[in-house]
Amino acid sequence: MSHYKSNLRDIEFNLFEAYRIQDYLGTGPFGPIDRDTAGDILRETERLAAEELAESFAEIDHDGPKLVDGRVLLPDGVKRALDAYYEGGWDRIALPESLGGFGAPPTLRWAVQEFFSGANASAFLYVCAPLMAHVIGRLGTPEQVATWPKWLMDRRWGATMVLTEADAGSDVGAGTTKAIPVEGDVYHLEGVKRFITSGDGDYYENILHLTLARPVGAGPGTKGLSCFIVPKFLVDAEGAPGEWNGVSVTNIEDKMGIKGSVTCELTFGLDKPCVGYLLGGVHEGIRQMFHVLEDARMSIGAKSAATMSTGYLNALEYAKERIQSADLTQTRDPNAPRVAIIRHPDVRRMLLQQKAHAEGMRALTLYSAWVLDQIMLHPEEPHWAKLSDLLLPLVKGYCSEKAYDLMGQCLQVLGGSGFTKDYPLEQYIRDLKIDSLYEGTTGIQALDLFFRKIARDQGQTLMRLAAGIIETVKGGGADDPFATERELLGKAMEDTQGQLGVMVGHAMAAMQDPPALYKVGLHTNALLESLAEVVMGWLLLRHAEVAHEALPPAGPRDRAFYEGKIASARWFAANVLPRAALRRTLAETEQGDLMALADEAF
């Protein structure tokens, strides 16, 4: 039996009932995909994920990649999963038709990705070629656009993004890998990169490394970086691999989780020159790489949400089957019948907390994907791209942190059994932890949210988002069944705005008193939490309104589903949204004493 428990019904609810993507499917940029085709894609990818991709989930955790004589050998389980994925052509779902793709909307792409990430995240991390093909297709020179994307897709290459260096870490601008000009757009790269996901493997005939390096003579920091196309093997005019290109795997990491995914140290130019081709013929490396980073951050947030969902559903299944102890009201009766643990109050509390957050994370992820749809449908409106930028640190930062926290509760439902390898929860926890570290830690996401997405924008995009939330707060009539939830959402919105106002005040004071900026940095993570929970509370309330309208004609199965949607929104509003008040108070009373404490006192 598959470890993976999907939630196709809730995904369909998000896409077709809450966000109604069928209203624009089959038109404009999404002409190739109509409502029926979208439904077929969802059902088939769910089946593929639960049956073929999930089959090697535990196997590749026990028997991971190995470095032998400078080559990474991938386990058979990874290869079987990738075979099934590629044979279905699913690597093309996110690509536009111009690059040989399906032309599917981002909402459908990210819904499908939930299945794949939830079923076997380690294997799915090898699939980076579509993203690199898309980025080169947008940013490359005419010659690069005509060749590299086609080779990546038609020849089923691997691909990586190569940023991190051991002495730089998240300070990407401190990187020292250098690029020595040879002729035109051709350079030789020299340096060492670390933590490179899917940096090598014997499944692919070639691997394309999109690499940041500093051309000789370029200035310091991120502005001095350029982006290079670096194939593992040099290619001929048809893309066929030839001689090795001087990029070596000098180590692979022995990790806590996602053990089926290889994480490499790559050394460029160690034994022979490593050729790199300047992307787009321009020295705009960090701007170009952000196209990759933004997609990767969304992908990691979606991975967290997917794992949270299957973790909850595994816990739910166990709670319905595990018979233990009498009902709490009958514990004094030694002859009272034993009940399933889902009947025990504390287990029930944990399950609803898991359910509300799993559905809230999915709502946030697919709403962010819906915004990406709007960018394509309305390219003349800059608001949608700005809103996407604002939501991205919420998806990546909040989902990765909260999923890891709550997975412990999923395991707790199973008790001692959850601590064993008989169930997938312990692997979920290990595989999840990386998500809050990948592509910038949560602290970096929070700094990005405040300084780049809110302050630099002067709060314009946030205010427009807030206006939509306030509209929901003021909705409802005389017999509104969600009056209490609207009030709680409004109060949380007010407290989050208050928290933000205090932080903006500290940022302005820092122009005269630089240490005042510390008071901002001490609360950026808390602001990310508050804002993410307000947006999730808003989306869950909107979903509850849709469910409430659908209840009267619903059959028994759908009725239970819709009642569950309403219960999630009510629980989240009552138990999560009030936390914003505490965060506001903490921001308002911040004195900055922590930064004055001597290092030796820790």
Catalytic sites, residue numbers: 439
Residues 171-174: contacts with CB under 8 Å, at least 24 apart: 172/212, 172/222, 172/225, 172/286, 173/220, 173/221, 173/222, 173/223, 173/224, 173/225, 173/286
CA distances from 354 to 111, 308, 432 (A): 20, 8, 15
* DSSP symbols for 424-477: THHHHHHHHHGGGTTTS-HHHHHHIIIIIIIITTTTHHHHHHHHHHHHHHT---
CB 114, CB 309: distance < 8 Å:
yes
Instruction: Pick the closest to residue 277 from 361, 333, 209 (CA basis).
Output: 209
Residue whose C-alpha is closest to residue 157's, from 113, 102, 91, 94: 91
Q: Which amino acid is at 308?
A: M
Task: Supply 232's token pair.
Answer: 């593992």
E strands, 494-571, in order: none
Q: Which of 301, 292, 253 is nearest to 163 (CA)?
A: 292
Q: Got the DSSP string for 303-349?
A: HHHHHHHHHHHHHHHHHHH-EEEE-GGGTT-TTSPEEEGGGSHHHHH
Per-residue DSSP letter, 51: I
What sign does the CA torsion over 331, 336, 340, 343 have?
negative
Contacts of 357 (CB under 8 A, 6+ apart): 308, 402, 403, 406, 572
Phi, psi angle pair for 194, to nearest 5° = -130, 160
For 324, residues 6+ apart whose C-beta sits below 8 A from its C-beta are 338, 339, 340, 341
Amino acid at 362: R
Nearby residues of 43 by Cβ (< 8 Å), 6 or more positions away: 8
| Residues 129/91, Cβ–Cβ less than 8 Å | yes
* DSSP secondary structure code for residue 19 in this structure: S
Helix axes 399-414, 285-321, angle to 10 degrees: 20
Query: 48, 84 in Cβ contact below 8 A?
Result: yes
- C-alpha to C-alpha distance for 207 and 567, rounded to whole angstroms: 48
How far apart are the C-alpha atoms of 386 and 541, rounded to whole Å?
Answer: 24
In 3-state terms, what secondary structure has residue 519?
helix
Tokens, residue 192: 């060492």
Of the candidates 193, 70, 189, 208, the residue with the CA atom closest to the CA atom of residue 130: 208
